Structure 1
Amino acid sequence: MNQNKGSFPGSFLQSTTIKMIMVGMLTLVLLIPLAFVNDLIHERSERKKEVVNEVTQLWGKDVFFYGPIIKVPYKRYTETSVLDPNTKKTSIQLNSSVDYAYFFPEKFNNTSNIKKNTSLKRGIYNNVVYSADMKFDGNFDKLNFEKLDIAEKDIEWDKASLVVKTTNLKSIKSDLVIKLNDHVFNFESKDEQDNFYGTLETETFDYKTLAATSKLDFSFSMKYNGSNSIKFIPIGKTTQISLNSDWDSPSFEGMFAANDATKTISKKGFHADWKILDINRSFSQQHVSKIPNLNEYSFGVKLIDTVDEYQQNDRASKYGFLVIGLTFLIFFLIQQINKINIHIFQYTMLGLALIMFYTLLIAITEHSSFSLAYLIASVSVIGMIVLYSVSILKTKKFPLFIGLALTAVYTFIYVIIQLENYALLVGSIGLFIILGLVMYFSRKIDWNNSNE
C-alpha cells in the first residue's frame, strides 16, 4: 500500500491527460515570444514608412491637379446705414470693394506619361516614386457673368489672370508657361493660405482683347517628380484624361471610373482613359469669392507596391499558433502511438525553433524577396527540427515523417498568404483535411489508459 502511494505522483505526472495539459500550456506560453515577433514586424514596417516619407518629402509627394481656372476681378457693392448725429437721420452709404469671379474651362484635356523611378533607394527600402510628363490643353467659352448677377460695368476685364492649384510645387521640373491663344504667359507661385494646394497664377491680361473670338484656347505642360498617386478634378464641361505608365500595378481611384473599353494593364505597364461630362458631377462652371473645395470629385490612379513584405510577414506570423499547435500535435501523437517519452523541455526547444522561423523570415525578406526568404527560413527550421527529432526519437522513420508534415504545413500556409480572394476557402478546406488526418491517426489510441 505504501509502495502504491509512493508511486502515485510519478504515475500521475506520466498520465496522458497531464501531458496534454502541459503541452497545451506550453503552446499558450509560446504565444508570448510570437507576440514579440509581431511587434518586431510592426516596428520594421513603421521604420519603412518613416524612410519612405523622408524620401517622398525630398523627391515629391502625390500630384493633385486642379485647374486651369480664369480669375476676373469685379466691383462688389455693399450698403451701410449711416446715422447723422446732428439731424438724427439715417442715410444709406454705398461702399465698393473688389471681389473675384472664377470660371472653369469648356474643354479640359490631359495626356500624361508616368515613368517609375527604380534607382531611388534609401538603405534597404525601395520607394514608389515616378516622373510625370503632363500635357494640358483645352479652351474657355464666353464667360457668363449673368449667372453670377454681375453687371458688365463692374467687371475689370483688363485684370484677368489664370490660376492653377496643385500639390507638390517644389517638385515641378519644367518652366511654367502657358499659351493663351497666340500669347505666352509665365506662371508664378502665390503665397496663399491653403493647407492642401499650392497656387500658380499668371500675370494679368486683358481678357476681352485676348479672347476676341469669344473662345480662349490654352495649352501648357508640366514635368513632376511625384510619388504614390496622380489625381485630377474634372473642371471642364468636357474633361478627358489619358494616362500611360510603365507601372504594372495601378489602382484606379476616385469618383469616376476609367473607360473599360480602352483600359489595359500588363507587365509592361498600363493605359487608362477618362471622359467626364458636366452632367456627371454636380457643380457649376462659375463661382464667386473663392475657388470651391471639390476634392470629393477627384479621380486618378494610385501606384501601389503589390509586394509589401511586411504585410506578408504579418500574415505569416498570424499562422504561428497553427504551426506550433500542429507540430506539437504530430509529436504528441507519435509519442502516444509508439510509447516514446518526449520531455516538456524538448517540446520547448521545438517551439522556440518554430518561433525562430519568423525572425529569420523578416530578416531575410528585407534583403531579398519574400518567396526566397520563406524558402530559406522554412528549409532551415525544418532541417533543424528533423535533426533534433533524430536525437530525441532515436529513429529516422519518424523524423522523416515530421519533415514531410512540416513541409506540407509551411507550403499550405505559403499558398494561403499568396491568395487573396480564395484564402478563406483554401484555408478552411486545408484545416478540414488536417482535422480528418488527426482523427484518422488518433483513432486507435487508448485514451483511457492513463499510463504509458
Structure 2
Amino acid sequence: METPQKTAPPNRFANWLKTSITSRMIAVGFLTLVLLVPLTFIQNLIQERSYRQDEVVNEINQQWGNEVFIYGPILKVPYKTYSEKIVTDKKTKKVFTETHTVINYAYFFPESLNITSNINPETKQRGIYKTAVYNSEIKLNGKFTKPDFSDIEVSENDILWEKSKIIIQTSNVKGVNEAHLTLNKNTYQLSSKYNSQSNVAYNQVAMHTLETKSFTKNPINFNAPTSYNINFNIKGSKQIRFIPTGKQTEAQVTSNWKTANFIGEFLPYNGDKISDSGFDAKWKILDLNRPFSQQHFNNLPNLQDFAFGVNFMIPVDEYQKSERSAKYGFLVIGLTFLVFFLIQTLSKINIHPFQYLMIGLALTMFYTLLISISEHSNFFKAYIIAGISVIVLITLYSKTILQTFKFPVFIGLSLTALYTFIYVIIQLENYALLVGSIGLFLILTTVMFVSRKIDWSNA
C-alpha cells in the first residue's frame, strides 16, 4: 500500500501578506518613507546648485567691482579739547595740575546734496550663470554752510579750520576709474585711506574712505556757503545706493535697464519712473524724513539702514521654485501610491512592491529633470518638460501592470491634475495656503468617497 503524502500546512502569514489590505497598506507606507531618502538628496542637490550660482556670481562681481554704496560728502573738522590731571611730584611731593590737549573730530553733512547718476548695465555670463554689472557716471553737487559747534561749546580758537578735510565713504574703491572734487573752484585730489572693517554689522557692506588733504594750502572761508562738485566714474554690480546726507537731498538715476527694483528706506516719487526704454527715477528727501542730524561729534555714525537706490541683479528664482516644488515630493508620491492602492484594492489586480518602487523612483526623477532643465531654460518650460516626461513614463508603465486602458488613462489624468495643482501653488504667494488647503480638502473628499466601496472585513 502506498502511504499518502503529507501536504504542507498553509503558511498563514504568507497568505496574509498576499491578500490582506493592511499588509499592502504597510508595504506602500514603508516604500513611501524609503523614497524620502532620494527626495532629501534632491533637495540637497538644489541647494548645492543654488550655492554654486551665488559663488560664481560673487566671483564675477568681485573681479568687476562690487555694489556701489556712497556715503557723503562729509566735512571733517578737527578741534581741540582739554583735560586736566592732578599729578604729584615724587621727589618734592608737590601737587600740580597738568593740562592735556586732545584732538577730536566733528563731522558735518552738507546743506544740500544733488545726485545725478547715469548707469549702463550689461550682462556677464560664466557657464550657465549670469549677473548684471554696470558702468556708472555719478555727479554730486551742493553746498556746505558754516559748521555749528554750539552743541559742544568749543571756542573758535580751538577749531582747526585749516586742517579740515572732505571725506566720502564708498563700498567699492576697486571700481573707481575717475574721481574729482571741486570746492569753490579749487580742485582737490581724493586719496584712499585704510579702514578697519571689524565693526561691520551683519548684512551690511564694508565701507572704505576717500578723503582730501587738509585745506592748509588752499584755505576755505567757512563763513560763507561752500559749494562742492564731485564727479565719479565707477564700475559696479548688484546695486547702487546712496545715503541722504544733505539737509535736502535730491537724486535722479537713469538707466536703460528695464527690470529695475528700487530698494531702501526711500522710494522714488515720480510715477512715470519706468518706461519701455529703461527708467528715470527721482527722489527728494528732507532732513525731517530721516532720523539723524546734520552734525556728529567724535564718531561718524553707521547710516546704512537709511540708504536708497536701485537693484540691478538679474532675478533668478528657478532654484527657489525648484526647492519649493521638491518640498511637495512626499505629497506627490503619497497621493500617487494612494491612487494605485485604490485601483489595486478595487480591481483585485496584484501590484508588486517592486513596481511601486519603480513608480516612486520615476516620480523623484521629475525633480532632477526640473532642476537640470531649468538651469538652461526658464522654470515653466522645465516644469512642462519634466512633468510630461514623468506622466508619460508612469502611464505607459502602469499599462503593463494593470492590463487595461481606463486605469492608466485615469492615472495620467490624476498626475496631470496633481502637477498642475502644485505649479499653481508655487506661483501663488498670498493665496498659496488657501488654494493648497482647498485642494487637499477636495482630494481627501474624493478619497473618502472612493474608499466607501472597499470591503474592509478582510483587512
TM-score, with length taken from structure 1: 0.90
Alignment of 1:383 onto 2:392? yes
Letter in 2 for 1:88: K
Q: What is the alpha-carbon distance in structure 2 between the residues aligned to residue 144 and residue 111 of structure 1?
A: 28
What does residue range 64-83 of structure 1 map to in structure 2 within 5 Å?
64-83=69-88
List runs of 5+ in structure 2 lacking aligned partners. 1-5, 199-205
Conserved in 1, the CA contact under 8 Å of 2:106 and 2:295? Answer: yes
1:177 is matched with: 180
Q: What is the alpha-carbon distance in structure 1 between the residues aligned to residue 12 and residue 196 of structure 2?
A: 83
Q: What is the alpha-carbon distance in structure 2 between the residues aligned to residue 343 and residue 273 of structure 1?
A: 67
Q: What is the alpha-carbon distance in structure 1 between the residues aligned to residue 217 and residue 243 of structure 2?
A: 24
1:127 is matched with: 131
Letter in 2 for 1:15: S
Conserved in 1, the CA contact under 8 Å of 2:70 and 2:243? Answer: yes
List runs of 5+ in structure 1 lacking aligned partners. none
Q: What is the alpha-carbon distance in structure 2 between the residues aligned to residue 128 and residue 62 of structure 1?
A: 11
Conserved in 1, the CA contact under 8 Å of 2:144 and 2:226? Answer: yes
Conserved in 2, the CA contact under 8 Å of 1:157 and 1:207? Answer: no
Change (3 A) 1:216 1:11: same
Change (3 A) 1:267 1:28: farther
Q: How far did 1:252 drift? A: 4.2
Letter in 2 for 1:232: F
What does residue range 355-434 of structure 1 map to in structure 2 within 5 Å?
355-434=364-443
Which residue of the other structure, out of 74, 94, 109, is the alignment partner of 1:104? Answer: 109
Q: What is the alpha-carbon distance in structure 2 between the residues aligned to residue 21 and residue 212 of structure 1?
A: 86
Q: Deviations over 1:170-193 (max 9, x none)?
A: 0123x2101222222221112233
Letter in 2 for 1:226: G
Q: How far did 1:267 drift? A: 6.8
1:36 is matched with: 41
Conserved in 1, the CA contact under 8 Å of 2:131 and 2:313? Answer: no
Change (3 A) 1:207 1:297: farther
Which residue of the other structure, out of 185, 189, 197, is the alignment partner of 1:186? Answer: 189
Alignment of 1:200 onto 2:210? yes
> SS of the residue aligned with 1:291?
coil
1:237 is matched with: 247
Letter in 2 for 1:6: P
Which residue of the other structure, out of 9, 17, 21, is the alignment partner of 2:13? Answer: 9
Q: How far did 1:59 drift? A: 1.6
Q: How far did 1:207 drift? A: 10
Letter in 2 for 1:365: S
Change (3 A) 1:44 1:69: same
Q: What is the alpha-carbon distance in structure 2 between the residues aligned to residue 373 and residue 116 of structure 1?
A: 28
Q: What is the alpha-carbon distance in structure 2 between the residues aligned to residue 36 and residue 85 of structure 1?
A: 76
Task: Tell me which moved more, 386-395 or 188-197.
Answer: 188-197
> SS of the residue aligned with 2:61?
helix
Q: How far did 1:352 drift? A: 0.6
Change (3 A) 1:155 1:17: same
Q: What is the alpha-carbon distance in structure 1 between the residues aligned to residue 325 and residue 276 of structure 2?
A: 27
Q: Deviations over 1:347-383 (max 9, x none)?
A: 1110011111111111112222221111111111111
Letter in 2 for 1:165: Q
Task: Tell me which moved more, 199-208 or 406-415.
Answer: 199-208
Q: What is the alpha-carbon distance in structure 1 between the residues aligned to residue 60 and residue 403 of structure 2?
A: 56
Letter in 1 for 2:239: S
Q: Deviations over 1:399-444 (max 9, x none)?
A: 1221121111111111111111221112112212222222333332
Q: Deviations over 1:298-317 (max 9, x none)?
A: 33344454332211111010
1:345 is matched with: 354
The number of equivalent residue pairs is: 446
Change (3 A) 1:227 1:91: same
Task: Tell me which moved more, 29-38 or 435-444.
Answer: 435-444
The share of aligned pairs that are identical, in percent, is 52
Q: How far did 1:104 drift? A: 0.9
